[in-house]
Amino acid sequence: MALPRTLNALLLVIIISIPVSVNAIQINSTEFSDEIHFIFAPPPSPVRNVAEFETMEGVLIRYPFGISFQIIAEMSEDIIVTTIVSSSSQQSTVLSQYQSQGVNTANCDFLIASSDSYWTRDYGPWFVFDGNDELAVIDFTYNRPRPNDNAIPGTYASSQGFSSYFLPLEHAGGNYMTDGQGISISTDLVWSENYGYSHAQIDQLVEDYLGIDTYHVVPDVNGEYIKHIDCWGKYLAPDKILIREVPITHSQYDEIEAAVSYFSGELSCYGTPYEIYRVYTPNNQPYTNSLILNDKVLVPITGSSWDDDAIASYEAAMPGYEVLGFTGSWQSTDALHCRAKGIPDRSMLYVDHTPLYGTINGDTGIDIEATIIPYSGYGIVTPSCVVYWKEDAGSWQTTQLSYQGNDVYDATIFPQQDGATISYYIQAEDQSGRIAYHPFIGEPDPHSFTVEITVTNSPPEKPTRPTGKAQGSAGTSYQYTSETTDINQDEIYYMWDWGDGTYSEWLGPYSSGSSCTESYTWNEQGTYTVRVKAKDNEDAESEWSEPFTVKMPHITINYQSLLNRFQYRPMFIKIIQNLFE
């Protein structure tokens, strides 16, 4: 049963004061055998609002159509086209038309329900995955006096067995876009249409029902009555926003550029500035009113000389996607996006990952972490969950993702050279046969970052305890040896402490691991401790080695010197000769 606008307004009042213990109101339908349930409490948390660019299993349109058979045929190649028809008889008529127009009827489904218009984007259901990992419908009050359209979200939810949660806001799908990560955008129309709420209360409602913790409410830049954001901008990815562009002489130029400036200063869910892409609309062409369906982008074109540029703008912003242009009865405030509504894959394989960007320290390798949720309930095919990566223009390599618990997986790319640019994307697979990537398109548009090696210089290791003669005679030269290594493989210099207050100069350079042998003569009898330390070519010094004790109990006498000294005293010469015989 379609709910009159006045009854919806009454329900809004009831919702504000309804006790928390009351979970649902059941409304009997005279047109459907099933019963429609509105749940007023928010979905179980955590809630995640699904973005347009995520995996879709279908699309919702309405007959009489607002789009061409050519578009419907294109959509039916890959996904289920659900058509709203008023009766079984009308369903037969539409099916016959589909068959004659080349639509893949194997991918066609029907929702028999009364409707008032073909703007399924505006009144169709919004979708979330709730805290139980189940797809659910978010219903709301459609901001037009079209009671049959307003009833469609609840009717669709009932037909699919989805829970339907009633968000007590007046809204329209064309004035709402989300990144699938907790950030959404609308024009300030949402404020004026819900004047009974403060801005903070609206923010709280979208957080409770949609999981949105950042809600950008911005001025409408078009100055048009409809004030829908899809008339001038849209999310292409969590970190990409497309905004229309006009010549400086255009009456909305300043407002549009102000929006560009605003979003350029905001951060995406990845913590990075948004990448802002532009599409030129000098005569208010509806190029931003496009429809993303999996790996296809359907763009409304008008036959103008700017159509090719519009297609090129999408291709530059969305590498790897198939970008297709379609003519139609488009208007600047009403085009393809307004007339079709994507239906998310209820068994989606979801990969959540915050990309690495900028300069990343790679001293010990680069860690990649992702959360992988199989909403199908099937297990993950772990060997097929990998990170594809390559250095600069090299070949793709893979690193296995390892399960860490709680749906979290990680992998480490081994250390790369300083300054290398690493491109990468994540692949996951579950036992339902679904394969998902991050980013969504995978290899054609990978994430990338630059490696920075910041290993600090370390001093050489403590040299080994010197080896050599442990006992000898003063006046005689002896050799001593020590060695060490440098973790950075720097060249090494050695300094010897001979234990008598004498130090060598820095000797070298020696390569890391090479030994240093040095000679020394003690001039007096005694006991000495010999030690050595090292430094690298950046003057980082090691510790002193363990000491080596050297004893010099004797003195070395020079025989010839003594003979020369006593050459005129024959008696002493005779004694010396006898001593040295």
How would you write 403-443 as a 3-class SS string? EEECCEEEEEECCCCCCCEEEEEEEEEECCCCEEEECCCCC
Residue 300 lies in a domain: yes
pLDDT at residue 558, rounded to an integer: 60
The backbone torsions φ and ψ at residue 154, rounded to the nearest 5 degrees and listed phi first, read: -65, -40
Domain stops at, among 344, 378, 399: 344
Determine the 3-state secondary structure of 365 from DSSP.
strand
Phi, psi of 529 (to 5 degrees): -110, 120
The residues, any chain, with a CB within 8 Å of residue 560's CB and separated by 6 or more, are: none
Q: How far apart are CA 74 and CA 53, in angstroms?
A: 17
Residues 137, 283: one domain? yes
For 73, phi and psi rounded to 5 degrees? -60, -40
Q: Three-state SS for 110? A: strand
Q: Are residues 325 and 384 in the same domain?
A: no
Residue 11: the pLDDT is 44
Residue 496 included in any domain:
yes
Residue 575 domain-assigned?
no
pLDDT of the residue at 560: 63
Structural domain including 254 reads 5-344
**Residue 1's pLDDT is what?**
34
- C-alpha to C-alpha distances, 147 to 1, 116, 152, 205, 239, nearest whole angstrom: 9, 8, 9, 23, 36
CA distances from 335 to 119, 318, 331 (A): 9, 20, 6
Residue 457's pLDDT is 84
Q: In what order do the strands lie in the sheet with 296-300?
A: 291-293, 296-300, 322-326
With a cut of 70, which residues of the chain have pLDDT below it? 1-38, 556-569, 571-581
- Report d(CA 71, CA 75) in Å as an integer: 6
Could you tell me if residue 431 is inside a domain?
no
pLDDT at 439: 98
443 located within any domain: no
Q: Are 415 and 335 contained in the same domain? A: no
In a domain, 432, yes or no: no
300 and 411, same domain (yes or no): no
pTM for the model:
0.78
List CB contacts of 531: < 8 A, sequence separation 6 or more. 466, 496, 497, 499, 544, 545, 546, 547, 548
Do 401 and 506 fall within a single domain? no
Total domain count for the chain?
Answer: 3
Q: In this predicted structure, what is the pLDDT of residue 15? A: 40
State how far the Cα of 315 lies from the Cα of 146, in Å rounded to an integer.
37
Choose the catalytic residue: 108, 231, 338, 385.
Answer: 338
108 catalytic per annotation? no
- CA 360, distance to chain mean position in Å, is 14
267 within domain boundaries: yes
Burial 111-133 (b: 16+ CB within 10 A, else e): bbbbbbbbbbbbbbbbbbbbeeb
Could you tell me if 116 and 14 lie in one domain?
Answer: yes
Torsion angles phi and psi, residue 7, rounded to 5: -70, -35
